[in-house]
Amino acid sequence: MNPALPYNETMEIFISEIPEEGLHRNGVLAATIFGLSPEDSIQPAGDITYNATIYHFDGVVTFEGSLTGKFQLQCNTCLEYLDYEANFSKWSSDLELDEDQQSFDLAEIIREDFLLDLPSYPRCDELVPGKLCPKAHYVVKIQKPLEEEAKSEESDNAWGTLDQLKD
């Protein structure tokens, strides 16, 4: 551990610290809060910034603000990693406290919300405008005259094609 690092990996906040008008916290968290393996489909590519206002009412802590961070996400289809800049400008979340819970870790809340809100099945052609995924099967639809379409409907549908392939 390098003691010169300007950030922590945990950020304990006590419920008793939260005033009625809300507690404001902003700053930077190290990518290491994610603790993901190098094989994971999500790879943090830099620090996380957060801007949070924290409220507590009746056993529920709510968070409002924004989260940003750079990631490398693995395309679900071709397995290539792509740059992805997460910018959750309207972040909100809540935490239901256990009966005797005195504190919580803000870093853990932020970590979980990133993992929840990042695209769960990213595709490179969806994340990068104009890109075609090299492993995706694109269906090209060709417009046919209506009459012809009706005649060839049987052999044209996907199941028909599959049956032919099986033979």
Contacting positions for Zn ion (CB under 5 A): 75, 77-78, 124, 133
In this complex, which beta carbon is closest to Zn ion, that of residue 91 or of residue 125? Answer: 125
Q: Nearest approach, Cβ of 132 to Zn ion (angstroms)?
A: 8
Q: Could you identify the residue written with the tokens 């990068």?
A: 128
In this complex, which beta carbon is closest to Zn ion, that of residue 41 or of residue 49? Answer: 41
Could you give the count of Cα atoms lying within 13 Å of 153 in the half-sphere of its Cβ?
5
CB count in 10 Å sphere of residue 85:
11
Decide if 43 contacts 22 (C-beta within 8 A). no
Structure tokens at 125: 């052609």
Residue 158 is given by DSSP the state: H
Q: Nearest approach, Cβ of 128 to Zn ion (angstroms)?
A: 9
Handedness of CA 42, 46, 52, 54 (dihedral sign): positive
- Residue from 43, 32, 34, 9 nearest 111 by CA: 34
Q: Nearest approach, Cβ of 63 to Zn ion (angstroms)?
A: 33
In this complex, which beta carbon is closest to Zn ion, that of residue 110 or of residue 133? Answer: 133
In this complex, which beta carbon is closest to Zn ion, that of residue 9 or of residue 126? Answer: 126
In this complex, which beta carbon is closest to Zn ion, that of residue 25 or of residue 131? Answer: 131
Q: Nearest approach, Cβ of 165 to Zn ion (angstroms)?
A: 25
Q: Nearest approach, Cβ of 40 to Zn ion (angstroms)?
A: 17
CB count in 10 Å sphere of residue 141:
5
Structure tokens at 31: 């990518």
